[in-house]
Amino acid sequence: MTIKAVPGTRDILPEEIPAWRRIEEAAHRLFARYGYRELRTPVFEETELFARGIGGETDIVAKEMYTFEDRDGSSLTLRPEATAGIVRSVIENHLFQSDPALKVYALGPMFRRERPQKGRYRQFHQVDVEAFGLQSPQVDAEVVELAVGFLEACGIAEYEVVLNSVGDPACRPPYVETLRQALRANLTRLGPDSQRRTETNPLRVLDSKVPEEQELIAALPRILEHLCPACREHFEEVRRQLDLLGIRYRVDHRLVRGLDYYMRTTFEVTSGALGAQNSLLGGGRYDGLVKELGGPDLGGIGFAAGMERIVLAMPAREAERRCDVFLMPLAAAAFDEALRLQRGLRQAGARVLLDPEGRSFKSRMKLADKLGARYVAIRGEEEMKKGVWRVRDRAGSTQDDVAEGRVAQHLEEKLHG
Ligand code: AMP
């Protein structure tokens, strides 16, 4: 029996790596322009961090965490998302003391025991952006701007930004109560999950995809009509700035985060190219979280983007060229020279390969084509006699005889010139 990858995990094969690198490079390049610095936290943490930082009522904590007992009996969990670990690190390392407007980002694998399907995995990767200590609506608008700029830098042109405000500790609790009353009055029209959530977390009923519940949900009281003046003003200013910057979005009152510390702005970016799992990234403001995890009363806002989904939504690109120069020392006496030439060209930055197995001319040529070689340099008995390398340009189908002492320079000029 051969051993296979665990269901819900996948290998990122060499052919896919250029797309992943493009995402990573876009993140490093773009986030720096907005003042973000990279932070790397461990992939496992104490289970308690996620229980407190994400909330026991969420699907993530209730049924999706990879939790295990360590040898000393402590309970550890593979991180299902990045924010909790980042907040722990910010508090533990007092990062906000040296940097009151703290902006950090992180990239890496996350683990959730979800039902695997296209675009949904048990080990997946996120790009995560978090800004702390900044309350202004300018930061909310900037984080949305950064999110769409990032997708565009990855080559994604088709997407939709969905925006909402979920209020704050002044206006949300009364709204939640109003919502609960409206749901209680219609309990018989709800399925078992929504019935339970009516008591535990009525906001999550708004997430429901159950077809029979949609009509009722459309008629429920809406958070945007229950915002307090401060939240209303904040939301209007976020929208005004997005309009000013030319960033298009759709307001959807059903986009909520069911956790207590989420407040005001929430947003999501979806792609029509993705099918059922259409969310590219999601984010929002979480001003209560740092305090909840034992830190100072510091606001926070950020987003998490799924890298697998970005790869799926990215335009296909031509395969990467693996070889600039393919060396063919056909004459046995040319082999040592080829080794030296190979080393010199590689030191000069070229991608150089040769076939050390010494196969036939035809099979070497096939290999050169397969590798996408731009130039093939051949030295057989005839070239030995003439003191040259025969350099073939695969694209132009031309060839030159180049004196042996000049071949390295000749190839470098061709490649860089
Ligand atoms: P969340 O942390 O649940 O708000 O998700 C943020 C983003 O991570 C989503 O928009 C997806 O792009 C991605 N994501 C979440 N869960 C998965 C998963 N199981 N597999 C792949 N991507 C995921």
Write out the chain's pLDDT in tens, 417 residues: 899 999 999 999 999 999 999 999 999 999 999 999 999 999 999 999 999 888 877 788 888 999 999 999 999 999 999 999 999 999 999 999 888 789 999 999 999 999 999 999 999 999 999 999 989 999 999 999 999 999 999 999 999 999 999 999 999 999 999 999 999 999 999 999 999 999 988 998 998 889 999 999 999 999 999 999 999 999 999 999 999 999 999 999 999 876 667 899 999 999 998 888 899 999 999 988 999 999 999 999 999 999 999 999 999 887 778 999 999 999 999 999 999 999 999 999 999 999 888 788 999 999 999 999 999 999 999 999 999 999 999 887 889 999 999 999 999 999 987
Reported pTM: 0.92
Q: Are 381 and 334 in contact (CB under 8 A)?
A: no
Decide: 23 in ligand 1 pocket, CB within 6 A: no
Residue with CA closest to ligand 1 atom 10:
281
Is the distance from CB of 23 to CB of 310 less than 8 angstroms? yes
Which helix (H) or strand (E) element contains residue 67? strand 66-69
Q: How far apart are CA 190 and CA 223, in angstroms?
A: 20
**C-beta of residue 227 within 8 angstroms of C-beta of residue 167:** yes
Nearest to 218 by CA among 250, 261, 258, 189: 189
Helix or strand (DSSP H, E) at 90? helix 83-92
For residue 255 and ligand 1, the question of a CB distance below 6 A is answered with no
Q: How far is the centre of ligand 1, averaged over its atoms, from the C-alpha of 107 (Å)?
A: 13
Pocket test for ligand 1, best of 83, 124, 143, 262 (most atoms within 8 A of CB): 124
For a ligand 1 pocket test, name from 110, 268, 270 the mutation site with the most ligand atoms within 8 angstroms of its C-beta.
Answer: 110
Q: One-letter amino acid identity for 385?
A: K
Question: What atom of ligand 1 comes closest to residue 310's alpha carbon?
Answer: 12
Q: Does residue 46 have its Cβ closer than 6 Å to ligand 1?
A: no
CA 378 to the chain's CA centroid? 44
**What residues contact 90, with CB distance under 8 A and at least 6 apart?**
96, 102, 104, 132, 290, 295
Ligand 1: does its nearest atom lie under 6 Å from the Cβ of 128? Answer: no
Ligand 1 atom closest to Cα of 126? 8
- Distance between Cα 368 and ligand 1 center (Å): 41
